[in-house]
């Protein structure tokens, strides 16, 4: 529990504080946190993970409320089921993989590269009036 919260939530808070300090001095900046679709759903067997990622969502919104009027936009991306070393065990479990894929309208696991467009948007001037947002990148999983 403690290790997962330290990595996912406490470290995110610490990095936001470090980057935010400089950005607030400059009166401009973009912070993009990494939440998870687990921020929205309870999932199974990972209570510390979903609790920490839910905390990232609320941290993102709180910092946006505090900092956006001072030129710093704070947003987050919420990846869905992504093909990574940490999820390969789920992909190899035929039953679980089938269950997951049946809920994803796009019919596939996400690849890390699928996050790039959303990240570039949130880090660019194209999102200058976007703050406090959490954008799912999940192949439509949350829409079901």
pLDDT, tens digit (0-9, with 9 covering 90-100), for 84-119: 998 999 999 999 999 999 999 999 999 999 999 999
pLDDT of residue 42: 78
pLDDT of residue 36: 96
Active-site hit among 40, 49, 81, 129: 49
Q: Is the pLDDT of residue 35 over 90?
A: yes
Nearest to 33, CA basis, from 18, 16, 46, 49: 16
Q: Judge contact between 60 and 127, C-beta under 8 A.
A: no
pLDDT bin (cut points 50, 70, 90) of residue 44 is confident
pLDDT of residue 92: 96
**Residue 42 CB neighbours (<10 A):** 10
Q: Which CATH class is domain 2-139?
A: alpha beta
User: pTM for this structure?
Assistant: 0.94
Q: Is the pLDDT of residue 120 over 80?
A: yes
Q: Is the pLDDT of residue 144 over 90?
A: no
Active site residue 40: no
pLDDT bin (cut points 50, 70, 90) of residue 43 is confident
């Amino acid at each position: 529990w403690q290790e997962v919260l330290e990595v996912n939530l406490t470290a995110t808070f610490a990095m936001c504080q470090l980057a935010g300090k400089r950005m607030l001095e400059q009166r401009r900046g973009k912070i993009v946190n990494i939440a998870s679709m687990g921020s929205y759903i309870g999932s199974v067997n990972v209570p510390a993970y979903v609790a920490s990622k839910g905390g990232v969502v609320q941290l993102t919104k709180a910092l946006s409320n505090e900092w956006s009027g001072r030129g710093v936009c704070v947003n987050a991306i919420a990846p869905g089921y992504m093909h990574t070393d940490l999820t390969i065990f789920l992909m190899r479990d035929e039953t679980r993989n089938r269950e997951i894929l049946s809920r994803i309208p796009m019919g596939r696991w996400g690849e890390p590269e699928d996050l790039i467009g959303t990240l570039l948007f949130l880090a660019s001037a194209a999102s200058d009036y976007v703050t406090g947002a959490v954008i799912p990148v999940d192949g439509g999983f949350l829409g079901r």
